[in-house]
Structure 1
């Protein structure tokens, strides 16, 4: 009885029809209450203040040049240069984060497109101004560097940073070449920006009918929610319509992703790496063998994923199973709604094992403008956590009351709390953390949440519903990410071996890998391989 009451009260579960309320139009940002929007004014009160910091950084940037050619002369020169660089970068981070988060609010607004582009250009110019630092450090004799570090207590802060630069000495170019590469970023960021504009600002999804014949204006988040519908016709229609919208841009997407891969290889080859993968992993000192062993191990253990497809096919009583059947719950009633206000309280309760300070800081973040909650027209899709060293973290959601989005709150707040504590405990030069370990905090929160929900489920159907989701979560975190990485390696290999890429060739590569992972029982529609061109991560080299 106690578990049942707790489930009902803190989760505010509503068994309901799948139909989405007021789904004939997409909300505008002005429709959303202030309490569900992040507070970018915590960074700058307005764009005038942003511009003032922009101007300040522009005027200070040239001061770093006073150290060029002098880093090997004294430990104090080296320390002062690195300290100034960190100070300038700290200002840049605020400028860059604010501009890009403003653009994320509504990617269609030209003003925010422009300030985001200006911030990117400013970043390029600062990188160019500081590009002499690494070549000069590797030119200092090792004995001199060791003496600098031994005799200057302030410089000891940069001990690991300096040694990591020495580790990558073979891939550091001359000052002139480093300056040229820094400037090249103004051009090489183009493919990612182009895809973002297609995916968030320009693409228009069709209207589909729900189970009752009502119109649903498709959006990114509504699509993923519809895939949980018990009505197969609705799922099929949504899948065809959603993926079909990307087919309207097929050649542009193909050319954009191909350009992105070529840009990646240009950067890696110029730095004398054998592959883009080696280049990307080396920044975190990770051997390529780790990646290769992961892919090899997963490929040798695809049987559980194939078995899961068979189980779904049997339980759903399907003659054939398709990708649009992979997200529908296996228990009935098939839909739980998790309103945001109840969800954040439940997540807070589920995170109790992490201690009272963690829970208090989480609650403060939720209530202090860290999170931008709901989907609106033009808003960047998906979810992420981001911020600058001198700001609190920010979390973008497109919340739709689904269990997946409920779990996403825990996931993204895991990232946010990771950054929050890192920034509190580390100096600026070590404020980041490797992508390779970035998902530990987020998936820990997911696991705590699902464990809590399972412990408070009151019926067998609820437990099946949650366990089905848990399995899907494991597949998404493990199998899917490795599958994505294998696809990225395949298209990069093609370019690195003097081949070429097209929309058609990349779709075939993606289709073959997708089929291998999910197994022979899964049937693919003609549009399912568009995933290789429409997933944002692929436009950021080996992001997954």
Structure 2
């Protein structure tokens, strides 16, 4: 690791994303920023007139589509500029202005949905017959009317729209504290030397073979979070109270019911996930036991979770090597798929390495009119290779949807958002396992796959249980204090990891650092998507072209059907527990394969 993180202007240009593809001159950003209010005002001029004629309804959607394009560029550019250096006050301001403009446009256009709901089915069908162009927006109109029971009057919709910025304050505060303001101390490694600790370096350090370093970093890292425990709790409480407020306003029985209904998914899908995971918890405990055995430790601690179970083997993969691996692993998806991946590598769609102030983690984002972008914090680990193909999967899903659908139909639901990314990961796993140079390398790669199951199927479901339980507590009137949140999280951790794991007291503060807890019940979809991806990748590798063709049809479908129906295009039916149970069966088989490779020996 470097002694210090580079400043933004010290990062090699080819390792940064080229946001100039969106705006090569920020004067153009200002011009588009000003267009937002103009277009919103133009839409507002239709207030009270949507039911008058098919032409009015078509015209307001045409302007809305134009507004979506402009908002997408303005907000996308601003938030990515801030993410590359969150301490940069210029881009903080740009992002805040973009957010305010977004909310302002929402207030001015809030009348649309209530007015569209007032149009009768008979009148609407007449409009479709009169104005053929209106059929372009049929899916979007249908989605509005699907939520008819939860739409309010124009005045109330405006009020809720104006509250959006306030409700986002907790997430904003969380991002500022965790990415820009929170600093970590240096820690000692096993030789007594100082090692710099940061958010981006925490997991790589937890993967280190130096157990003393892992322990010291673990305790210092979570100790730092604990110092601000009441602040984290207040921010999380604000996030949950905002969800409950909107759920009540929209006449839902719970905040969770509202969240999944927004994705057109039944709560039963998540309940089935919980049931399957709980029924298969023995496999997670078996994985923990194997980890303890292979690490050869008397006690397995939470700072032993990320290190490879094969302690005498390591794999470093440079970014250049990772790109080559990805192209080989994704080859079953066809040359047209690979051509776009190569374009991403060659034309700087990716911001690769960590720098001072850069947002942690990784994501795929971008603009409909340009191309997807990816933010990474690449650190030469095997995990980083999988993160690269994961985010590339998101980007390719976006690319296919954007090419096939208009901007209103391209934005696929969160429920299917993790399928393409995880399919890429599963394909990479199979390629690397099949091309391993020796048994030890093969075991190391299986180790990663097992860790992915642990981190996605089990860990994300545990996160979802925490989110569900704490939201239900708040809905029942129980205060979400730091101590109450700690107790829920700590007990879940003990349940999921089992008796062979020492649940160190610091792990109870892990909830403080999870950004997804501000994403409104997002995380369970990682688990359902992982299960779907295991099935899709299996079909692609076994059936070839027909399965690939169906998969690309799924990738190109945006949000043109409900998510469960879209997955059926790719051959996965999540109305049953079968995909979840099948994926967990694969987890058990991978554990057995690992046991057969390493035998009964403990690897020091």
Determine if the TM-score, normalized by the shorter chain, exceeds 0.5.
yes
d(CA) in 2 for partners of 1:138 and 1:262?
A: 28
1:321 aligns with 300
Residue 158 of structure 2: SS of its match in structure 1? helix
What is the 5 A alignment of 1:23-62?
24-62=3-41
CA distance in 2, matches of 1:230, 1:186: 44
The answer for unaligned runs of 5 or more in structure 1 is 1-19
Q: 1:223 aligns with which of 190, 202, 206?
A: 202
Contact 1:410 1:445 in 2 (8 A): yes
Aligned to 2:110: 131
Q: 2:444 aligns with which of 460, 465, 469?
A: 465
Residues 378-411 of structure 1 deviation map (CA, whole Å, 9 limit, x = unaligned)? 1000000001211210100000001101110000
Give 1:145's aligned residue. 124
Give the TM-score, by structure 2 length.
0.85
Q: Does 1:305 pair with 2:284?
A: yes
Residue number among 414, 419, 433 corresponding to 1:440 in the alignment: 419
Aligned position for 2:533: none
Query: What residue number does 1:243 align with?
Result: 222
Q: Which residue of 2 aligns with 1:292?
A: 271
CA deviations 1:101-139 (Å, max 9, x no partner) are: 010011111111111011000000111111011100111
Superposition deviation, residue 332 in structure 1: 4.7
Q: How far off is 1:232 after superposition?
A: 1.6
C-alpha contact (below 8 Å) 1:507/1:533 kept by paired residues: no
Aligned residue in 1 for 2:396: 417
In 2, distance between residues paired with 1:543 and 1:426? 24
Q: How does 1:506-521 map onto structure 2 within 5 Å? A: 506-521=485-500
Secondary structure class of the residue paired with 2:45? helix
Contact 1:276 1:492 in 2 (8 A): yes
Give the aligned partner of residue 110 of structure 1: 89
Match in the other structure for 1:201: 180
Q: How far is the alpha carbon of 1:506 from its aligned partner?
A: 0.6
Deviation at 1:215, TM superposition (A): 2.3
Aligned CA-pair RMSD: 1.2
Q: Matched residues in 2 for 1:366 and 1:215: separation?
A: 35
Find 1:253's aligned residue among 221, 225, 232: 232
More displaced, 317-326 or 483-492? 317-326
Structure 2 gaps, min length 5: 524-604
Question: 5 Å matches for 1:333-352?
Answer: 333-352=312-331
1:450 equivalent to 2:429? Answer: yes
CA distance in 2, matches of 1:60, 1:307: 58
State the number of aligned residues.
Answer: 523
* 1:329 shift after superposition: 1.3
**Is the contact made by 1:221 and 1:400 (CA closer than 8 Å) also made in structure 2?**
no
- Partner residue of 2:334 out of 328, 346, 355: 355
Distance 1:270 1:255 in 2: 22
Decide whether the 8 Å contact of 1:537 with 1:543 is kept in 2: yes
Contact between 2:51 and 2:119, CA under 8 Å: does it hold in 1? yes
Per-residue CA distance 1:240-299 (angstroms, 9 max, x = gap): 111112112111111000111001111111111111111111112111111112112211
Structure 1 residue 182 corresponds to structure 2 residue 161: yes
Tell me the distance in 1 between the aligned counterparts of 2:37 and 2:26. 16
Q: How far is 1:524 from its partner?
A: 1.5
Q: Does 1:101 align with 2:80?
A: yes
1:3-14 equivalences under 5 Å are: none
- What's the secondary structure of 1:69's corresponding residue? coil
Corresponding residue for residue 383 of structure 1: 362
Structure 2 counterpart of 1:210: 189
SS at match of 1:386: strand
Per the alignment, residue 557 of structure 2 pairs with: none
Rounded Cα–Cα distance in structure 2 between residues aligned with 1:186 and 1:280: 18
Output one character per residue of 1:468-516: Cα deviation in whole Å (capped at 9) or x when no partner: 1110012212111111111110111011112221111011111111111
Contact in 2 for aligned 1:333/1:461 (Cα 8 Å) = no
Structure with larger RCO (C-alpha < 8 A, sep 6+): 1
Q: Is the 8 A contact 2:189 2:216 kept in 1?
A: no
Secondary structure class of the residue paired with 1:399: coil
Q: CA separation in 2, counterparts of 1:512 and 1:46?
A: 52
Match of 1:64? 43
Asked if structure 1 preserves the Cα contact closer than 8 Å seen for 2:295 and 2:311, the reply is no
Within 2, Cα distance between the matches of 1:379 and 1:48? 24
Instruction: State the shift of 1:446 in Å.
Output: 0.5
1:276 aligned partner: 255
- Matches of 1:85 and 1:396 in 2, distance apart? 29
- Assess if the C-alpha contact under 8 Å between 2:36 and 2:105 holds in 1: no
Mapped to 2, the partners of 1:462 and 1:220 lie a distance apart of 29
Q: 2:291, 2:66 → 1: CA distance?
A: 55
Task: Give the TM-score of the pair, scaled to structure 1.
Answer: 0.94
Q: Secondary structure in 1 aligned to 2:195?
A: strand
Alignment of 1:359-374 (within 5 A): 359-374=338-353
In structure 2, the residue matched to 1:15 is none
Task: Select the residue among 154, 159, 173 that pairs with 2:133.
Answer: 154
- Superposed CA deviations along residues 332-368 of structure 1, whole A, max 9, x for unmatched, are 5332111111111111111100000100110101111
Is the 1:71–1:137 contact (alpha carbons within 8 Å) kept by the matching residues of 2?
yes
1:398 aligned counterpart, secondary structure: coil
CA contact (8 A) 2:81 2:91 kept: yes
Shift of 1:435: 1.0
Matches of 1:111 and 1:29, distance apart in 2:
14
CA distance in 2, matches of 1:330, 1:297: 26
Could you tell me which of 347, 369, 374 is aligned with 1:395?
Answer: 374
In structure 1, the partner of 2:455 is 476
Out of 493-502 and 378-387, give the one that drifted further. Answer: 493-502
CA distance in 1 between partners of 2:338 and 2:407 (Å): 25
Q: Name the counterpart of 2:535.
A: none
Distance 1:376 1:213 in 2: 26
